[in-house]
Structure 1
Amino acid sequence: MTDGLVVPPGAGRTIGGTGMTLKVGVGQTERWSLFEVEVAPGFDVGAHAHAEAEELFYVLDGELDLLAFEPSVRTAGDWQTWESDSGRKVARGGPGSLMFVPPGCPHAFANPGLTAARMLFLVAPAGHEEYLEGIGELLVRQGPPDQDAIRELRLRYDIQQITPMVPGGLRAAPGGGPANTP
């Protein structure tokens, strides 16, 4: 029989440059990865979809704009104005809000506020931490993020980018560099 794992508050592996802490991942299970996430004010992950992965987002603190539907038209610009054929629109979610994303569903989140938001992020299968390490390296560079490099990295990890990622307000990362949230 295999023992379980207890991760105390504040513990886990920091994913540099992302505002994310890996709580459980590929080192413990092949089924899913769980992250505690700090989403900087103004950060927009950009609308995207996964062919295989499923995701859950649970808001702990603050507010996030949340998208989890196929829009009538996939515009390359602002996903926050998208609407589905049935009239669904982007939701504003506060503490206790949950967003489930099945494979193939366009989705996004953004922090519209002036303070950081926090959420739990679960993705199946495990291993998303490898992608996040790569994104973290791109986001800590000076200047605006290289959208072509982000798009290429996302393609390697089952992520079809629909709208660009937009970094939020910068805050200090471990080691003193800037940090954003993917």
Structure 2
Amino acid sequence: MEIIRHTKNSESEVLTVAGSEYRILVDGEQTGGNFAVIEMNIPPGSGPGLHSHKDIQETFYVAAGEVDFYSETGTTRALPGDFIDIPPGGAVHAFKNTSNEPAKLICTVMPTGLEEMFREVSKFGMEKAKEIGERYGNKFYPADYFNKLK
């Protein structure tokens, strides 16, 4: 019989990644590697740089704040209640909290692995983020990457 999981706020694993607080709600160990769910608390002006991961689907539910998502097709502003889906395949993307208030994203990754990457980055620091990220199948791009495509 399957058990129902209950992740209490007070018992969650909290990580610091790129100046943001990431709370692991469900990790791959709990789901047999099928998916992981991460609450991302993003301060104003923060967010990851341009990157891609071809074998992972990543979704974001915007629970609070305003977040701009960047991709090769342009920029979209996501508001509370909006949902962003980045399918597997390697789309280059990034996001940034563009408001003056903290933003909260609920991120689901399928299959798992990014939560393990975040654990390592939190432990070893942002100076090792590129090296760690590449071991997990991520590619990183310069901030002006989209401009070079024009």
Q: What's the TM-score once normalised by structure 1's chain length?
A: 0.69
1:20-49: CA deviations, max 9, x gaps?
111111221110100111001111301111
- Contact 1:66-1:93 within 8 A present in 2 as well: yes
> 1:64 corresponds to which letter in structure 2?
V
Pair 63,11 (structure 1): closer, same or farther in 2 beyond 3 Å: farther
Which has more strand, going by share of residues? Answer: 2
Partner of 1:115: 101
User: Secondary structure in 2 aligned to 1:28?
Assistant: helix
Structure 2 counterparts to residues 25-174 of structure 1, below 5 A: 25-29=27-31, 30-67=33-70, 69=71, 71=72, 84=73, 89-103=74-88, 104-139=90-125, 145-146=126-127, 149-163=128-142
More helix by share: 2
Provide the rounded CA distance (Å) in 1 between the counterparts of 2:64 and 2:142. Answer: 25
Q: Is the CA contact (8 Å cut-off) linking 1:11 and 1:23 kept in structure 2?
A: no
How many residues get paired? 139
SS at match of 2:129: helix
Unaligned 5+ residue runs, structure 1? Answer: 72-83, 140-144, 165-182
Q: Which has the larger radius of gyration?
A: 1
CA–CA distance in 2 between the matches of 1:151 and 1:128?
A: 13
Alpha-carbon separation, structure 2, partners of 1:51 and 1:158: 8
SS across alignment from 2:122: helix
- Which amino acid in the other structure matches residue 93 of structure 1? A
Bigger RCO (CA 8 Å, 6+ sep): 1
Partner amino acid for 1:55? E
Question: Structure 2 CA distance, aligned partners of 1:59 and 1:33?
Answer: 17
Q: Which amino acid aligns with 1:114?
A: N
Residue of structure 2 in register with 1:80 after alignment: none
- Aligned alpha-carbon RMSD (Å): 1.8
TM superposition outliers: structure 1 runs of 4+ over 3 Å: 8-11
Is contact 1:62-1:118 (8 Å) kept? Answer: yes
Q: Equivalents in 1 of 2:45, 2:95: separation in Å?
A: 10
Task: Tell me by how many angstroms 1:9 deviates.
Answer: 4.6
* Preserved contact between residue 15 and residue 129 of structure 1 (Cα < 8 Å): no
User: Identity of counterpart residues, as a percentage?
Assistant: 26
